Amino acid sequence: MTDFLAEKRAEIEQRLRELKEEQRALEAAAAALASVESGRGSGAPRERTSPPRRRRRAASGAPTGRRRGRPRGSGTRGNQALALVQSKPGITIPELAEAMGIKQNYLYRVMPQLQEDGKVAKRGRGWHPVDPTGTPAPAVPAPEAAPAFEMPGTPGAPA
């Protein structure tokens, strides 16, 4: 039994040596491939062809003073919401979201920004356009209630 175990141990050690040699060969091939892909050839130092890039932020993580992305208020969703408010004064955020085919939570960010920009005003649950002078457009008057109908022959009914 000990001869069997010693024989198997020797086979395993031999296979490990073969695998280590294969690993070295594969690593050398990978390094050669990487140098060809980068265009450096074998072991040639890399030359910079363009000036170094400037860092956008200071090392401390402080902003550079510029805001990333597009300017605030230039989005089409804000313009689309404003057009809906102008065409339908008193429209609510759920109605806006349904008309625009988007989720309400996005409009809870867009509409206060439009209000801050002086383009809309909120009255109750509804949003109303603001005219160019900065005053909110007048509220759409509620339809007048029809006079109560009284049955003929009752006191106070028209004759």
Query: What tens digit of pLDDT does each residue of 21-30 get?
Result: 999 989 988 8
Total structural domains within the chain = 2
Residue 139 placed within a domain: no
Q: In the chain, at which residue ranges do the beta strands (DSSP E only) sit?
A: 120-123, 126-129
pLDDT at residue 158 is higher than 70: no
Lowest mean pLDDT across 46-50, 98-102, 117-121: 46-50
Specify which of 39-43, 47-51, 124-128 reaches the highest per-range mean pLDDT.
124-128
Residue 135 placed within a domain: no
Residue 1 placed within a domain: no
**CATH number where 121 lies:** 1.10.10.10
Q: For residue 14, what are the domain limits?
A: 7-37
Q: Which of 125, 43, 113 is nearest to 81 (CA)?
A: 113
Number of separate helices (H) and strands (E) present in the chain: 4, 2
CB 42 within 8 A of CB 77: no
CA-based end-to-end distance of the chain = 126
Residue 26 placed within a domain: yes
Secondary element (H or E) of residue 113: helix 104-116
Specify which of 8-22, 31-45, 49-63, 119-133 reaches the highest per-range mean pLDDT.
8-22
Mean pLDDT of 92-116: 90
Residue 20 placed within a domain: yes
Residue 52 placed within a domain: no
Predicted confidence band of residue 127 (pLDDT cuts 50, 70, 90): very high
Give the count of beta carbons closer than 10 Å to the beta carbon of residue 151: 6
Residue 116 placed within a domain: yes
Residue 86 placed within a domain: yes
